[in-house]
Amino acid sequence: MEMKKAIPISENGVSAGFPSPADDYIQESLDLNEYVVKHPAATFFVRVAGDSMIEAGIHDRDILVVDRSLTPKNNDIIIAVLDNEFAVKIFRRKSGSVLLDAANDEYPPLKMKEGMNLEVWGVVTYVIHPV
């Protein structure tokens, strides 16, 4: 059985501008599951494939934290199953219609039409990617 390890975190933030004196001690530990997972029974992780959400800060091979217990609101980023294919898109409701939008001008928005099968699998709550 694998043991979870809490990683130390400094109580003070780190300067993104000019350096400032830092504390030489660690105040507490951080368990990323506690930080990014609000509803454990309804949360899953998924790896991104493609560049349709690049302008939203979501890159190819990023890991998304998805919460199935949340109901999508306008402009939420969601994981959807559209005609049996998974997709990550921006959820938009306009004039009674549902639109799934990319965050890359090279991909057109998808307007839901009669006969299309859309199932929302969850709302993206965090994006994890390397720098």
Element (H, E) at 34: helix 32-36
Q: Is 69 helix (H, G, I), strand (E, B) or coil?
A: coil
Which residue is catalytic, options 4, 15, 73, 89? 89
89 is catalytic: yes
97 is catalytic: no
Which residue is catalytic, options 29, 38, 52, 95? 52
Task: Give the distance from CA 54 to its chain's centroid.
Answer: 12
Q: What is the set of active-site residues? A: 52, 89
